[in-house]
Structure 1
Amino acid sequence: MKLKLKLNSKKENLKTQSEGEKRTPNVKELYNSSLNGIKNVKMTNPIKSVGLMLFLIIFSAILVCVLVVGLFSYSTSKSIIKNKVADSTAVAIQQSTGKLDLMFKNYEALSMQILLDKTVQDNLDLMDKAKDDYEKFDSMKKLGDSLQSYVLGNSSIVGAAIIPIEGSASSVTTGSSSITTEVAQKSDWMKKVEDGGGRLVWLPSELKGYSGSAPEATFAMGRVMKNTITNEAKFVMVIEIYLKELSKELQDVKLGEDSSITIVDSAGNLVLPSKPSSKPEEIGKPSPIAFPKEGKAAESGSKTTTDENGNEVLAVYNKFDNVDWKLVGSVPVAELVKDAGQILNTTWIIAGIAALLAIGIGMLVIWMVAIPLVRLRNLMNEGALGNLSVRSTINKKDEIGQLAQSFNQMMTQITLLVNQTNQSAQDVLATAGELSDASKKTAISAREIAVATEEIANGASSLATEAEKGNDLTAEIGEQMQQVMTANQEMGVAASDVESASRQGTTYMNSLIEKTGMTEEMTRSMVEKVDRLKESTRSIRKILDVLNNMTKQTNILSLNATIEAARAGAAGKGFMVVADEIRKLADQSRQSIDVVGQITETIQKEIDETVNVLSTAYPIFQEQIQSVKEANQIFLTVQGQMGDFVGRLDSVTESISKLERSQVVLSEAMSNVSAVAEESSATSEEVASLSTEQNSISEGLVRLSDKLETVSTGLKETLSRFRTE
């Protein structure tokens, strides 16, 4: 009964083990699903690579740095030149101001001599007290002769006039002056002189003089003439001076090409325009340059502003000491900084050299970064498809070299794992075959025991012999199971190493994704800056259109001036030469504007091309980031599959442990069989009853052996998909 209970227990253990084996997942199905996932990974387009992105970044960074430094140097040189020219122009303007102040003092001294002249005072008194027309005429004649003596020897004076403040008496004139009492008393300048009391008042220039009929422009000085005894003010003295005298004093002052010197009164109107002979209509017109009204800056200084043509000019001004006027010198900024254009040209040349250098560096980056990454990607894809013999030949000390070494280590570990697993599968398959043979023999023996129940007593010795053979065979199976356990443990260690290498590869890919995101932000910022530069070039083109229209207008004015000079005949030859020079200057301006327009058009096209390249590169860069993320997902998939593989190894280990326990039970059963054989003569009836149970146990052992052989065959077929050579 004791032996019967032990056999029943072994039978239940075999059934439990068989049910556990039925629940074990199929390794072949898991491998096929993993392989399908790898084949679904799309290959990356070589154009959408990290190397191309790095090349564009390096190219743009070097080019932008060179342009920023060059343009900053150009701007700084312009500022230095403007400051130096402003200082030198200020010195010239101060010297010219002193020279004109001396001339104004001489005129003021002349007016004071006339005012204090005793003959003039006496005749003025006689004119005021004359009883008849003859006495008045005689005193006016003497007064005119006295004025003539002061004016006659001075060619710069047009003439002088003494005008009564009230009444309808005629004015006393000398020289070319023909100012009438009626016109003078109604004029604003007469009131201005009266408001000055006895002080000298300088009057601005008039195109046709203060009489309104002078052949050329004049300016004047006036003061109230008071009686030296009674201090009564009854007359006003006006001395007219040729405006060209101011131009003569300033003709030797040279501030630079296309510069101009003007005199502006306290109201901001032009007393002396830059070209009074060619543009007399500008006399008395407001100055295009505005000046401060108060403070030290109202006396003298410099400023950058625009002239009447819209051109940027550097204006330097200084106030006269004796006259409430300002001497203004203006120099075109374009003429000042034209030499600094060499810096700008040099900047473009250096930018071209820097662009070539950036291309070389970009190609080096592609060779050092992009090509090794593509090679590693191709090797990974080939290894994922089952070729475990691939190895990377990249020998570098940087992160890419470390990644290649990690890849080689990972493939080596996987190869070792597959080889060990393959060997273990072969050992398990051989053991399963032996176990199957032994199980079949045991089944045959059980059937023979069932058939020969009546002959057990006579064949006890033979049964004992067979039991000893079964015991030896069970010991041999135990040794084979121990080898299988050892190989399975080594396989588990190798799988853990592969999983660790996959985790390290995932870490490197996460770092690469983060750096690629930073590069994307820099590219987006570059696109925005290039767009702003594009808007600036459009503004320059609008300004060039305005300048071109102004040049056309200047040509028209020059043509009109030439026609008028031709009508004037010989008297207009000088004016025709000036008009021709104006036309030439306008043609030169038009040619310069055309050249600048062509340069601006070239810059606009290059900016458009840069915007198009950046716009095209940006989605490419986005696809590159997606490809890096997909490569990272491949690492994660490999890591997960290796985790599943380790789990399956654990399941195989557990199954082998159960098989080992079954082998121990079988060994004990065979020992019991030997005891039964020795006692068979006494327990023949009990052996007969147990023969049926022994037969069923043997059949179960056969099924278990067949199951183990099927699993071993499937494992071998799965591992055969990997190539290690």
Structure 2
Amino acid sequence: EGDLTVRTTLKAEDEIGRVGESLNQMVEKISALIGQAQNLTENVISVLDQLRSRFEGDTRRTENMTKQADDMAKNAQTQVEMSQQSRVIINEMSAGIQQVAANAQDVSAVSVRANETAEEGGVQVKEVIQQMGVISETVNSAAGIVEGLGEKSQEIGEIVDVITGIAEQTNLLALNAAIEAARAGEQGRGFAVVAEEVRKLAEESGGAAKKIAELIKEIQMEASRAVQAMAEGTHEAENGMQVVARSGEAFQAITESIKGITGQIQEVSAAAEEMAAATESALESMNQTASAAEATFGAASDIDQMTAEQLAGIQEANVLIERLAVMVADLEKDIDYFKVEASLEKIAHKA
């Protein structure tokens, strides 16, 4: 059953013999077709094995490419996100640096005004020192004048003492003259009147001299207090000059410090401006990097999609190959049902 190697042995010349011959020819043709089908199925199986092996390699390579493309897309996405975060940070840093530069410029302007004010204060302190020097000299001069007045008052006091002494002596002389006139009686009455007038005048002169002496003492006391007050004023003026001089030195030191601070602030402002320019350049570079990363991410996404589609196509082809292999295997089983003579080509192929 299914053996196509068997041939009919009918040799008759009649219709039966011709039918047998035709049957043998038909069996040979069917056997040839079955042999060709066997060869074809074997070739198809061999090709399917080669395709399966090749597609397995392509599948592995495509899976690797897909994984690499996916990793590249993820890395590109991460790079895009990091670039965006860096861009935000650089923008904030740039704004902060610009604010620092603006504040430094404001502080520099304030320090310049403070320096000008300190210099004006130093000039005013010098003027105050000069004015206090003039005041001290004036007070010293006035003290000298008051001391001179005190000395003159002393001389006047001495003169008043002399006048007082003269008045006392005159009073004694008038008293003696009155006594002598009284002794002379009627002839000395006129002289007694004159002596009385002289005595009164001497008493008035003595009283006036005493008042003058008291006034001179008061003047001398006031002059002494004035001299003492002027001396104290001169001392205070000298102390004030020293204090003002120290204030002038302090103003000078403040001016120098402000100049140094102003220079440092100007350096900080210049550095901040340079940093602002650098951050602008960095921001521009980061924008370019972000654009490149976005382009890379887009390309990686496209590659990932293409490799995924290619992998899907290969997997679909593998499924078709497996189906075809099953169909060929079924066909081979059906063909193997028949027994045919092995050709030399088939024997060589199997060998």
**Structure 2 length normalisation: TM-score?**
0.53
CA offset digits 1:251-305 (Å, max 9, x no partner): xxxxxxxxxxxxxxxxxxxxxxxxxxxxxxxxxxxxxxxxxxxxxxxxxxxxxxx
- 1:538, distance to aligned residue in structure 2 (A): 0.8
Identity of aligned residues (%): 23
Give the conservation status (yes or no) of the 8 Å contact 1:562–1:579: yes
What does residue 58 of structure 2 align with?
none
Q: Does 1:459 align with 2:71?
A: yes
RMSD of Structure 2 on Structure 1 (CA): 3.6
Aligned partner of 1:671 among 277, 283, 289: 289
Give the conservation status (yes or no) of the 8 Å contact 2:160–2:213: yes
CA separation of 1:494 and 1:671: change in aligned 2, threshold 3 A? closer
CA separation of 1:477 and 1:561: change in aligned 2, threshold 3 A? same
Give the conservation status (yes or no) of the 8 Å contact 2:177–2:192: yes
CA separation of 1:564 and 1:646: change in aligned 2, threshold 3 A? closer
CA offset digits 1:514-554 (Å, max 9, x no partner): 33333333222222221111111111001001111111221
Give the conservation status (yes or no) of the 8 Å contact 1:544–1:597: yes
What does residue 599 of structure 1 align with?
215
Higher strand share: 1
AA matched with 2:238: Q
CA separation of 1:616 and 1:637: change in aligned 2, threshold 3 A? same
Aligned partner of 1:654 among 241, 261, 271: 271
AA matched with 2:289: S
Q: Which has the larger radius of gyration?
A: 2
CA offset digits 1:534-584 (Å, max 9, x no partner): 111111001001111111221222233233334434433333333222222
Q: Does 1:504 align with 2:130?
A: no
Q: For 2:256 and 2:91, locate their aligned partners in 1 and report how far apart those are by CA, in whole Å.
A: 34
**Structure 1 length normalisation: TM-score?**
0.28
Give the conservation status (yes or no) of the 8 Å contact 1:481–1:656: no
**For residues 196-207 of structure 1, what are the structure 2 equivalents within 5 Å?**
none
What does residue 618 of structure 1 align with?
234
Give the conservation status (yes or no) of the 8 Å contact 1:527–1:611: yes
CA separation of 1:555 and 1:604: change in aligned 2, threshold 3 A? same
- 1:593, distance to aligned residue in structure 2 (A): 0.9
What does residue 253 of structure 1 align with?
none
AA matched with 1:578: V
Aligned partner of 1:518 among 134, 140, 155: 134
- 1:588, distance to aligned residue in structure 2 (A): 1.4
Q: Does 1:533 align with 2:149?
A: yes
Higher helix share: 2
Q: Any stretches of 5+ residues in structure 1 without a counterpart? A: 1-454, 681-725
Give the conservation status (yes or no) of the 8 Å contact 2:181–2:189: yes
Q: Any stretches of 5+ residues in structure 2 without a counterpart? A: 1-66, 301-351
CA offset digits 1:381-424 (Å, max 9, x no partner): xxxxxxxxxxxxxxxxxxxxxxxxxxxxxxxxxxxxxxxxxxxx
AA matched with 2:123: N
**For residues 341-360 of structure 1, what are the structure 2 equivalents within 5 Å?**
none
SS at match of 1:550: helix
Q: For 1:655 and 1:500, locate their aligned partners in 2 and report how far apart those are by CA, in whole Å.
A: 19
Q: RCO (CA 8 Å, sep 6+): is it higher in 1 or 2?
A: 2
CA separation of 1:666 and 1:463: change in aligned 2, threshold 3 A? farther
Give the conservation status (yes or no) of the 8 Å contact 1:477–1:663: no
AA matched with 1:564: E
CA separation of 1:588 and 1:547: change in aligned 2, threshold 3 A? same
What does residue 340 of structure 2 align with?
none
AA matched with 1:671: T
Aligned partner of 2:99 among 487, 502, 513: 487
Q: For 2:131 and 2:194, locate their aligned partners in 1 and report how far apart those are by CA, in whole Å.
A: 68
- 1:457, distance to aligned residue in structure 2 (A): 7.2
**For residues 100-119 of structure 1, what are the structure 2 equivalents within 5 Å?**
none
SS at match of 2:216: helix
Give the conservation status (yes or no) of the 8 Å contact 2:118–2:255: no
Q: For 1:579 and 1:478, locate their aligned partners in 2 and report how far apart those are by CA, in whole Å.
A: 121
- 1:631, distance to aligned residue in structure 2 (A): 4.4
Paired residue total = 226
Aligned partner of 1:560 among 176, 181, 191: 176
Give the conservation status (yes or no) of the 8 Å contact 1:561–1:579: yes
Q: Does 1:475 align with 2:87?
A: yes
AA matched with 1:532: G
AA matched with 2:85: L
CA offset digits 1:361-396 (Å, max 9, x no partner): xxxxxxxxxxxxxxxxxxxxxxxxxxxxxxxxxxxx
AA matched with 2:157: R
CA separation of 1:579 and 1:465: change in aligned 2, threshold 3 A? same
Give the conservation status (yes or no) of the 8 Å contact 2:101–2:269: no
**For residues 32-431 of structure 1, what are the structure 2 equivalents within 5 Å?**
none
What does residue 195 of structure 2 align with?
579
- 1:652, distance to aligned residue in structure 2 (A): 6.4
AA matched with 2:107: A
CA offset digits 1:135-181 (Å, max 9, x no partner): xxxxxxxxxxxxxxxxxxxxxxxxxxxxxxxxxxxxxxxxxxxxxxx
